[in-house]
Amino acid sequence: MLTPLTLPAGASSLSMTTNATNLSADAGVMIGGATFGSVTRPYWWDAAGTANAIPIAPGALLMNAITVNTTGTLIGGSVSLGAGVNHGYIFSRLDGAYYDMHNVFSAAGILPAGWTLTNVQHISADGSRIFAQVIDNLGTGRAVVLSGTYAIPAPGAAAVLGVAGLLAARRRRA
């Protein structure tokens, strides 16, 4: 069976690489880009070939999709914020949330001062581990593995934490 990928309205072409990290395990989610004029924007396609735009990050000049996890729920890549500043990101298809992974790991104290997480290369199925490229404080490019369940909340985790907090607050009042 042949399933053509739809070209988004106004796009002149689409591009996809053929490595394993651009497809979910069941090939139900494929990532790549659609070109509009001279700008390529990140997209994902479902098993029916339907194009879906990945929302452009606030302040982004350019953005690309590099990887999708095996479950097809998390998409990662790089976003150019101008003046040579690139940050790695993860987009959650489950809730439409965008995570600037440089800011996430910096705020958690995991990324050393002066280091910049420039792109996300691979995401574990549950989002708790990412393989990324960084520029260290000396300007050297490095590959790193970053871990932590705080990075990308699992589906339903926020709701569970919210209910747990509500119950704890009620117990304290009693």
What is the pLDDT, as a whole number, of residue 159? 35
6 part of a folded domain: no
2 part of a folded domain: no
3 part of a folded domain: no
Phi and psi angles of residue 109, each rounded to the nearest 5 degrees, phi first: 80, 15
What is the pLDDT, as a whole number, of residue 33? 94
Task: Profile the chain (174 residues) by mean pLDDT over runs of 10 residues.
Answer: 88 83 91 93 94 92 94 95 92 92 91 95 91 96 84 46 32 36
**Rounded Cα distance, 44 and 33, in Å:** 8
What is the pLDDT, as a whole number, of residue 144? 95
What is the pLDDT, as a whole number, of residue 18? 67
122 part of a folded domain: yes
76 part of a folded domain: yes
What is the pLDDT, as a whole number, of residue 77? 95
| Number of structural domains in the chain | 1
What is the pLDDT, as a whole number, of residue 152? 60
- Range(s) of the domain holding residue 57: 13-173
What is the pLDDT, as a whole number, of residue 158? 40
94 C-beta neighbours (distance < 10 Å), count: 14
Give the Å distances, CA to CA, from 18 to 2, 15, 30, 50, 69.
17, 10, 10, 18, 15
110 part of a folded domain: yes
129 part of a folded domain: yes
Nearest to 20 by CA among 12, 30, 11, 10: 30
157 C-beta neighbours (distance < 10 Å), count: 12
